[in-house]
């Protein structure tokens, strides 16, 4: 499948008006800027699904890591929503032109997740630009509790329980016609309150002691019938 056909196929999975619109739209009014930038990227259809965060809104901005395909930053911004004045940090992943299908796929998976599917994804929130070099950046939630590669676990019951949760979510992903194809402990990140997602780059490591027990936990994922479409890389 060519990139153009893949892009068209992904866009076809998005309804024109989502039942669950992005709740941050009101917090980040853009005066048409989002539509302008999406048109430059060739995907104006995403306007209803994303927000635009102007680069000058960031009160803090730093590089947090480089994956195999892109640089990831952490940006902090203050905004007003129904809970009052808030300050929140977001993950900002470099978006090159050839990565636009990834942007659309993330929008599709975020939409599917909001429809009630429990997917192992990091919710796509919006789009911004690097405040210095102007590169486009995808905005998603910042996983403040680090990667599974550095997660300490106290007993096998917890390892097996998490492996089952991960396998079930991957099974849901497969049922929708998607697979990750790059599973390894550094690509599973924690956002707190038991929430986790499978990232495309390992960039948020919290420095805890690495436990090889996870290798056995991931072997358990491999043995379950939920996960026949994935290979686990250690």
Nearest residue to 117 via CA among 13, 207, 2, 25: 13
Q: Is 93 annotated as a binding residue?
A: yes
Q: How far is the C-alpha of 90 from the C-alpha of 124, rounded, in Å?
A: 10
Q: How far is the C-alpha of 14 from the C-alpha of 216, rounded, in Å?
A: 38
Q: Report how far apart, in Å, the C-alpha atoms of 207 and of each of 55, 57, 142, 147, 211 are.
A: 30, 30, 17, 9, 12
Known binding residues are 93
Known binding residues for ATP are 93
């Amino acid at each position: 499948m060519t990139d153009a056909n893949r892009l068209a196929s992904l866009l076809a999975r998005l309804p024109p008006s989502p039942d669950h619109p992005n709740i941050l739209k009101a917090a980040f009014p853009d005066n048409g800027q989002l539509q302008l930038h999406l048109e430059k990227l060739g995907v104006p259809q995403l306007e209803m699904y994303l927000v635009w965060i102007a680069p000058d809104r960031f009160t803090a901005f730093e590089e947090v890591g480089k994956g195999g395909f892109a640089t990831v930053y952490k940006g902090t911004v203050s905004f007003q929503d129904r809970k009052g004045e808030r300050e929140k940090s977001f993950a900002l992943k470099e978006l090159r032109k050839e990565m636009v299908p990834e942007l659309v796929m993330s929008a599709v998976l975020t939409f599917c997740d909001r429809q009630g599917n429990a997917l192992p994804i990091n919710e796509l929130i919006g789009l911004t630009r690097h405040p210095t070099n102007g590169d486009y950046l995808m905005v998603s939630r910042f996983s403040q509790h680090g990667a599974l590669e550095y997660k300490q676990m106290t007993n096998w019951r917890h390892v097996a329980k998490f492996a089952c949760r991960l396998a079930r979510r991957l099974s849901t992903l497969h049922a929708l016609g998607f697979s990750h194809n790059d599973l390894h402990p550094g690509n599973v990140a924690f956002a707190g309150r038991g929430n986790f997602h499978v990232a495309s780059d390992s960039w948020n490591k919290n420095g805890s002691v690495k436990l090889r027990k996870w290798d056995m936990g991931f072997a358990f994922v491999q043995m379950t019938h939920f996960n026949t479409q994935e290979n686990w890389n250690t």
